[in-house]
Amino acid sequence: MLDRVFRRADAVASEAHGGGSGPAAAPRRIERRGIALALGGGAARGWAHIGVLKALDEAHIPIAMIAGTSMGALVGGCYLAGRLDELEHFATSLTRRGLIRYLDFRIGGAGLIGGMRLSRRLEEQLAGLTIEGLDRRLVCVAAEARSGHEVWIDSGSLVLAMRASYALPGVFEPVEVSGRRLLDGALVNPVPVSVCRAYEQQLVVAVNLHYDLFGRAAVLRLRAGESAPPAPQPRRIDSAPTVDAAVRREKIGITRSMADAFNIIQDRISRSRLAGDPPDLSLQPRVRDIGLSEFFRAEQAIELGYRETMNRIAEIERVCESAPDLRWD
């Protein structure tokens, strides 16, 4: 039934745009009917977006537009460019050791990583592609370093827009776009539902990758005092060594501190913005045990995104069928 709903709506939209017989018109994007996806940031957890998109395609859920922040912009852009399979192959081929060859470390720069090696890999697949050349709308969200303004990139170089959206402060160097220094969009709009609403999309589905990181917001009252040293953990000798996720999250270091700070920022900003402009439906893959820098765990993240979406397909279909302009009578 859902296929007929969107098929009929597409026919009406085509007629409204002058579809039918007549002289050939210049190539232009035809606005499609379907859901709008707001793909949130999350660094390595962002691989879950691949699973989400695969599940939606398998269920024949049409996608009208994608607004992406950080990794959401990267995955969304590759999907609309028809390169999702290539991105999945790249992601699942990463290992702890193999990841190093894509990191061009810099000393004294604005970020630890220049990002040009990753950019060259993207150019291999997406060279010459522009956002306006895609068959559906894509908006990449970034933040301007000097003013703190939220920036919506909806035209121009696809690779440059994606790089600007995932330029995590302190990790990647800011990206120069049209004379502005841009940083990761998660600093201003971690789950860009508001972007989809601004483009007058009726059905907005958000993918929030840090919903379960901290639980509900709370205020704690403490008495200042010294903490007792942690008790030593018994060493397991009866099985192969494993790294417990909870223990890994408790390890403190510069990287861990930066990751925790960025997680808190994303969580608090997204809760505030989504409360004021909620989506019609929110998907929340349980990816909290995947660290921000654990890009080599793509297979697990993709599976979690796929599973969450397939479990909610019936709910997505009900939301689509209830839309006034798309309802099949």
How confident is the model over 55-96, as pLDDT tens digits? Answer: 999 999 999 999 999 999 999 999 999 999 999 999 999 888
**By C-alpha distance, which of 163, 75, 72, 46 is closest to 114?**
163
> What pTM does this model have?
0.79
SS3 content of the chain, % helix, strand, coil (to 5): 45, 15, 40
Tell me how far apart the alpha carbons of residues 250 and 258 are, in angstroms, rounded to a whole number.
13
**By C-alpha distance, which of 186, 180, 179, 183 is closest to 67?**
186
Q: For residue 273, give the H/E element and its range.
A: helix 254-276
Per residue in 131-184, pLDDT (tens digit) is: 999 999 999 999 999 999 999 999 999 999 999 999 888 777 889 999 999 999
User: What is the average per-residue pLDDT within 125-135?
Assistant: 93
3-state SS assignment for residue 93: helix
Which of 3-17, 219-233, 237-251, 290-304 tops mean pLDDT?
A: 290-304
**Active-site residue, 227 included:** no
**Active-site residue, 184 included:** yes
Which of 165, 184, 267, 280 is flagged as catalytic? 184
Per residue in 280-318, pLDDT (tens digit) is: 999 999 998 898 888 899 999 999 999 999 999 999 999
- What is the model's pLDDT at position 217? 59
Tell me how far apart the alpha carbons of residues 98 and 115 are, in angstroms, rounded to a whole number.
16
Side chain identity at residue 300, one-letter code: Q
Q: How far is CA 182 from CA 19, 47, 127, 303, 322, in A?
A: 39, 22, 21, 31, 39
CA angle 257–150–145, rounded 5-degree value: 55
pLDDT over 90, % of the chain: 49
- What is the model's pLDDT at position 57? 97
User: 205 - beta bridge partners?
Assistant: 37, 281
**13 versus 296: which is more confidently predicted?**
296
Tell me how far apart the alpha carbons of residues 319 and 313 are, in angstroms, rounded to a whole number.
10
